């Protein structure tokens, strides 16, 4: 009996049962994309973990551990540190503003023109290729246990992801994420323990692993700085975190579920790195980094047990893909459609456009997965461009009332040009493009804002200080919002 296939079929049956059940409860756009602001600690924390530990942290972490070693842990330290600081300081402000998206902050503070470019950056430049990366991850799992070409694995993952997203929306994503997170955490721990035993024990791993893989400083200061900057600042403006925070019942639930979710995600990522280092004893040196985790898991576990853990990872990739589709769909339906095309759109129209946006983004992500060879490189480029262009303007909206719309637009456009030019120039001095992008973004924002006046459609305020002394919101406030 092909236990791998049995687990996959069982997983799909359970997944779509949950999705169909959730679809019956979806009546409004808020139900679909924000679970009607009713999520508790467990679904938010689980959703964060499942989204973060998909392709990037677990599959990517194992691949980096295999080829790069322990140095890659700097990325886990970076995204966890930046997220904890960001949600601790800005959590109340984001909740008070009832923000669905990052571009919505730009629209309220600087007018709708300032929100258009961020909406396109997040919805198309970041969310779409990230969805494509999840498809590649799903295909690597399917092709590891089933005799199908990678291209068919991508197409199969595409159809499953789109149908699941169109049916269940955020409610099904959050709860399936929460359940599978337990299996993922248990699975990666058991994979490491049994994997070490499988290759001969800890002494065998330590003795036969190249010493550079255990040297944190092997890639040098510049290498550590680059990885730290690529993954860190971005998480200040990671829209998925903002949406989970807003969708929570209360600020306290939102902040603590995200903090704990990221800490656990970092631990899972670190264990993934150790799995990759352990796999050096078993797999060929030229093994594709994206296949290290799945190939090692297939070698270590009997199918009857390993199938459960492999399916949990497949589920994390799928619901991660769904999260990115939903997040990008909000950018298109609310920031672009409702903000520009049809400001008077009613709830049913926004819901319809949200679902159409999911389909359109998914098709574009499918083409990226099929025709771009290095999807991970595209993802890292999208990550750095998003951070370089949006971090400084977001911080200005939160902390600096003197920032102007012209200053923000100049900052965004200028940082895009500089980041792209720096990348095309081959990253001079070995410095990643995100650093010059952030520096130029800051300088242009400050200088141009000081030289220009506020526009008539700006709300001249620093949101952090505006809401700093206000009492945290509670469930009653969200009940009032739902009834309004």
Q: Which of 27-31, 44-48, 437-441 has the lowest mean pLDDT?
A: 27-31
pLDDT per residue over 102-122, tens digit each?
Answer: 998 999 999 988 888 888 888
Tokens standing for residue 222: 């510049």
pLDDT of residue 474 exceeding 60: no
Chain centre to alpha carbon of residue 67: 23
If you count them, how many residues does the chain have? 484
Tokens standing for residue 476: 């009653």
Tokens standing for residue 265: 């995600």
For residues 220-248, average pLDDT: 89
Q: Which of the four pLDDT bands, split at 50, 70 and 90, describes residue 392?
A: very high
pLDDT of residue 272 exceeding 50: yes
For residue 48, the number of C-alpha atoms closer than 13 Å in the C-beta half-sphere is: 33
Is domain 34-374 in CATH 1.20.1730.10, yes or no?
A: yes
Cα angle, residue 458 at apex, residues 457 and 463 outer, rounded to 5°: 150
DSSP state at residue 39: B
**Distances, alpha carbon 434 to alpha carbons 7, 39, 230, 461, 475, in Å:** 42, 34, 7, 28, 39
Q: What percentage of the chain carries pLDDT values higher than 70?
A: 86
- Residue 475's SS3 state is helix
pTM, entire model: 0.84
In the block, which residue shows the tokens 């997944």? 15
Domain segments of the chain as ranges = 34-374
Residues 266 and 84 sit within 8 Å (Cβ to Cβ): no
Chain centre to alpha carbon of residue 16: 23
Mean pLDDT over the full length of the chain: 83
pLDDT of residue 380 exceeding 80: no
Interatomic CA distance for residues 254 and 44, integer angstroms:
7
For residues 240-255, average pLDDT: 85
Residues 416 and 370 sit within 8 Å (Cβ to Cβ): no
DSSP state at residue 25: T
pLDDT per residue over 342-378, tens digit each?
Answer: 888 787 787 788 778 888 888 988 888 887 655 566 7
Burial class (CB in 10 A: 0-12, 13-18, 19+), 341: exposed
User: Highest mean pLDDT: which of 201-205, 292-296, 329-333, 442-446?
Assistant: 442-446
Instruction: Output the CA torsion sign for 156, 161, 164, 166.
Output: negative
């Amino acid at each position: 009996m092909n236990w791998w296939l049995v687990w996959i079929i069982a997983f799909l049956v359970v997944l779509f049962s949950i999705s169909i059940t959730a679809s019956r409860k979806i009546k409004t756009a808020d139900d679909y994309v924000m679970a009607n602001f009713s999520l508790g600690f467990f679904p938010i924390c689980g959703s964060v973990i499942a989204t973060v530990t998909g392709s990037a942290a677990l599959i990517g972490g194992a691949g980096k551990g295999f080829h790069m070693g322990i140095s890659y842990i700097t990325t886990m330290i970076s995204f966890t540190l930046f997220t904890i600081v960001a949600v601790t300081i800005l959590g109340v402000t984001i909740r008070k503003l009832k923000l669905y998206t990052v571009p919505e902050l730009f629209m309220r503070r600087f007018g709708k023109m300032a929100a258009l470019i961020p909406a396109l950056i997040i919805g198309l430049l970041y969310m779409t290729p990230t969805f494509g990366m999840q498809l590649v991850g799903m295909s690597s799992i399917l092709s590891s246990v089933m005799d199908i070409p990678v291209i068919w694995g991508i197409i199969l993952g595409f159809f499953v992801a789109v149908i699941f997203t169109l049916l269940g929306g955020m409610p099904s994503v959050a709860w399936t994420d929460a359940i599978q997170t337990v299996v993922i955490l248990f699975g990666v721990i058991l994979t490491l323990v049994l994997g070490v035993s499988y290759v001969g024990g800890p002494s065998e791993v330590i003795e036969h692993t190249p010493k550079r893989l255990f040297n944190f400083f092997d890639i040098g200061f510049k290498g550590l700085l680059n990885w730290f900057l690529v993954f860190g600042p971005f998480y200040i403006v990671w829209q998925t975190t903002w949406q989970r925070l807003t969708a929570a019942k209360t600020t306290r639930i939102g902040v603590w579920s995200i903090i704990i979710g990221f800490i656990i995600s970092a631990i899972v990522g670190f264990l993934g790195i150790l799995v990759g280092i352990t796999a050096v004893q078993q797999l060929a040196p030229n093994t594709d980094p994206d296949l290290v985790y799945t190939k090692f898991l297939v070698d270590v576990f009997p199918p009857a047990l390993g199938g459960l853990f492999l399916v949990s990872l497949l589920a994390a990739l799928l619901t991660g893909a769904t999260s990115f589709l939903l997040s990008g769909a909000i950018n298109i339906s609310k920031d672009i459609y409702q903000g520009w095309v049809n400001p008077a759109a009613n709830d049913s129209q926004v819901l319809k456009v949200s679902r159409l946006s999911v389909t359109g983004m998914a098709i574009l992500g499918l083409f990226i997965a099929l025709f771009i060879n290095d999807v991970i490189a595209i993802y890292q480029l999208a990550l750095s461009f998003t951070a370089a262009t949006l971090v400084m303007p977001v911080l200005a909206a939160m902390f600096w009332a003197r920032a102007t719309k012209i200053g923000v637009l100049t900052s965004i456009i200028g940082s895009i040009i500089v980041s792209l030019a720096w990348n095309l120039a081959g990253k001079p001095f070995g410095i990643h493009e995100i650093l010059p992008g952030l520096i130029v973004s800051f300088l242009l924002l400050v200088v141009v804002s000081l030289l220009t006046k506020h526009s008539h459609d700006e709300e001249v305020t620093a949101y952090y200080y505006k809401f700093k002394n206000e009492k945290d919101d509670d469930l009653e406030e969200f009940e009032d919002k739902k009834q309004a």
